[in-house]
Amino acid sequence: MRVSVLSLLAILPACSSPPSGSRDGQAAPRTAAFLFDGSSTDAWVMARDGSACRWEIDAEGAMVVNVGAGSIRTRESFGDFLLHIEFAVPNNPPEFTGQARGNSGVYLQGRYEVQIHDSHGLPPADNLCGAIYSKAAPLVNAARPAEEWQTYLIDFTAPRWSTVGDKIANARVSVWHNGTLIHDDFEIDGTTGGGAPEGPSPGPILLQDHGDSRVRFRNIWIVPR
Calpha distance 218→27 (Å, rounded) = 13
> By C-alpha distance, which of 203, 188, 71 is closest to 135?
188
User: Comparing C-alpha atoms, which of 45, 145, 158, 59 is closest to residue 112?
Assistant: 158
Cβ-based neighbour number of residue 138 at 10 Å: 25
Instruction: Report the run of H or E that residue 177 belongs to, with start and end.
Output: strand 171-177
Least Cβ distance, residue 4 to Mg ion (angstroms): 47
Quick one: 29 or 193, whose CB is closer to Mg ion?
193
CB of 107 to Mg ion, least distance (A): 9
CA angle 167, 83, 197 (to 5 degrees): 30
Which CB, 155 or 209, lies closer to Mg ion?
209
Cα 90 → chain centroid = 17
Number of residues forming the site for Mg ion (CB under 5 A)? 4
Nearer to Mg ion, 131 or 223 (CB): 131
Dihedral (Cα; 223, 192, 136, 16), 10-degree rounding: 0
**From the CB of 114, what's the least distance to Mg ion, in Å?**
9
Of 118 and 198, which has the nearer Cβ to Mg ion? 118
Question: 96-155: which residues touch Mg ion (CB under 5 A)?
Answer: 103, 105, 115
Least separation in angstroms between residue 91's CB and Mg ion is 17
Site membership for Mg ion, residue 195 (CB under 5 A): no
Question: Which residues, numbered 88-107, are part of the site for Mg ion (CB under 5 A)?
Answer: 103, 105
Helix-strand-coil split of the chain, %, nearest 5: 5, 35, 60
Q: Which stretch binds Mg ion (CB under 5 A): 11-19, 150-158, 193-201, 207-215?
A: 207-215
The CB-of-15 to Mg ion minimum distance in angstroms stands at 31
Contact flags string 44-83 toward Mg ion, x per CB under 5 A: ----------------------------------------
Q: Nearest distance from residue 105's CB to Mg ion, in Å?
A: 3
Q: Which residue is nearest to Mg ion (CB)?
A: 105
Q: Are 177 and 79 in contact (CB under 8 A)?
A: no
* Residues 194 and 103 sit within 8 Å (Cβ to Cβ): no
- Residue with smaller CB distance to Mg ion, 82 or 215: 215
Distance CA 23, CA 154 (A): 12
State which residue, 195 or 203, has the beta carbon closest to Mg ion.
195
Q: Give residues in contact with Mg ion (CB under 5 A).
A: 103, 105, 115, 208
